[in-house]
Amino acid sequence: MPHNTVAVVGAAETTKMGVITDLSQIGLHADAALNAMADCGLKPSDIDGIACANETPVQLAHYLGITPTWIDGTAVGGCSFMIHVRHAAAAIEAGLAKTILVTHGESGKSRIGNPMRSVHPQSLNGQFEQPFGPMGPPSMFTIPVLRYMKTYGVTEEQIAQVAVVQREWASKNPRATFRNLITTDDVLNSRMIAWPFRLLMCCLVTDGGGALILTSADRAKDFPTKPVYILGTGESAETPMISQMEDFTSSRAFRVAGPTAFKEAGITHEDVDHLMIYDAFAHLPIYGLEDLGFLPKGEAAAFIAGRNTAPGGSLPLNTNGGGLSYMHSGMYGMYALQESVRQMRGIAPAQIPGAKISVCHGVGGMFAASGTVIFSNQAP
């Protein structure tokens, strides 16, 4: 599938980020979508494909005035957007649509037009996990980590370092929610949420949105923006129940999606200039670095603590500050994609000089699903 045949030509986040009380969730979608269309000089009548996750594509098509020939409502959590990009690239290749909008808006903090969802007591999660007291991701997504720590001798200090390093990136980003530098002790002394996880090891809760517009690489040259080509993509799923992961030290969905994207792109890890790994919690970059094959199992925590992913390091990771410091509306993948596109356009607040290839890896649910997109700014 895609090797530089499809490109992102429009990309934008919502006008505001953080706490947004003057827009509902669908309004955040629309704000991001209109910004992305303005970015590349398109109108809704120019869009013939639409994908979104927390609203249906029917709602967004109608709201924005789009008549689609292709729709995708894949909703598998925060990596849905990586998977939308993968599906959109395939759809453009197959001729199902020419110009596709992938949009996200989420009133995660203010919860306007975004009702709280509960786990149905007849679902497998409702029967076999909820009765034991998990209260959402902070006390669920974190459950495998003690097993990882025991298996590889990783310390709480090393997990805390993930948050410390990402705050360094956030300090360079004027739009980041948290920009003040922090220390390992700050993280370890922050409020205990679900031991061994403290508050600063957990993502933000904010409002926001983002949108991407994709078209074929040969059409991309006609747009005012610098095209960002799709080199390769991958997707997978494992289990909706964290207790049923095959291996608590590794995500099977990561191990399928990541290598699929690398193989499709025809690149090696040494080719990667910039990396985004969805960080709802501080352990995710550790799992991601290993499951994507950047490092052998058990080595990623020391790699991060050794400043290899920090500003000036060999593998810049989560350069917007990540879900831990930049923003996290609940489904974060769209914001990771936006940072990859900014890096490939050369306009990121913490720009990696000369970066040519960016890997953007997402998780959905709690190790439930995964999507990977590999971008390049090099013309085919």
Partner 1 sequence: MATPGRALPQPTPETQHFWDGTKANELLLQRCDDCSKVYFPPRPFCPACASRKVSVTKASGKAILYSYVIHHRPAPGFTPPYAIAVVELAEGPRMMTNIVECEQTPEALQLDMPVEVVFEPQTDTITLPLFRPAATAKG
Does 146 bind partner 1 (CB under 8 A)? Our answer is yes
CA distances, 252 to each of 87, 270, 276, 364 (Å): 21, 23, 19, 12
Size of the site for partner 1 (CB under 8 A): 36
- Residue 364's Cβ-side half-sphere holds a number of Cα atoms within 13 Å equal to 26
Give the nearer residue to partner 1 in terms of CB position, either 43 or 120: 120
Contact call for residues 15 and 208 (beta carbons, < 8 A): no
Residues in a beta bridge with 321 = none
Of the residues 197, 223, 254, 294, which one makes contact with partner 1 according to CB under 8 A:
197
Of the residues 68, 78, 196, 333, which one makes contact with partner 1 according to CB under 8 A:
196
Least Å distance between CB 118 and partner 1?
Answer: 9
Alpha carbon distance 213, 234 (integer Å) = 19
Interface map 242-261 toward partner 1 (x if CB under 8 A) = xxx---x-------------
Give the nearer residue to partner 1 in terms of CB position, either 37 or 202: 202
Alpha carbon distance 68, 83 (integer Å) = 18
Does 312 bind partner 1 (CB under 8 A)? Our answer is no
Interface map 114-133 toward partner 1 (x if CB under 8 A) = -----x-xx-x-xxxxxxxx
Does 236 bind partner 1 (CB under 8 A)? Our answer is no
Contact call for residues 69 and 49 (beta carbons, < 8 A): yes
Give the nearer residue to partner 1 in terms of CB position, either 27 or 240: 240
Residue 95's region, left for phi above 0, alpha for psi from -120 to 50, else beta, is left
Question: What is the residue type of 195?
Answer: W
Q: If we measure between CA atoms, which residue out of 74, 73, 143 comes closest to residue 370?
A: 74
Least Å distance between CB 251 and partner 1?
Answer: 14
Contact call for residues 177 and 325 (beta carbons, < 8 A): yes
Alpha carbon distance 349, 359 (integer Å) = 18
Give the nearer residue to partner 1 in terms of CB position, either 197 or 294: 197
Does 58 bind partner 1 (CB under 8 A)? Our answer is no
Of the residues 43, 65, 67, 147, which one makes contact with partner 1 according to CB under 8 A:
147
Least Å distance between CB 138 and partner 1?
Answer: 7
Does 188 bind partner 1 (CB under 8 A)? Our answer is no
The site for partner 1 (CB under 8 A) is made up of: 119, 121-122, 124, 126-135, 138-140, 142-147, 150, 191-197, 241-244, 248
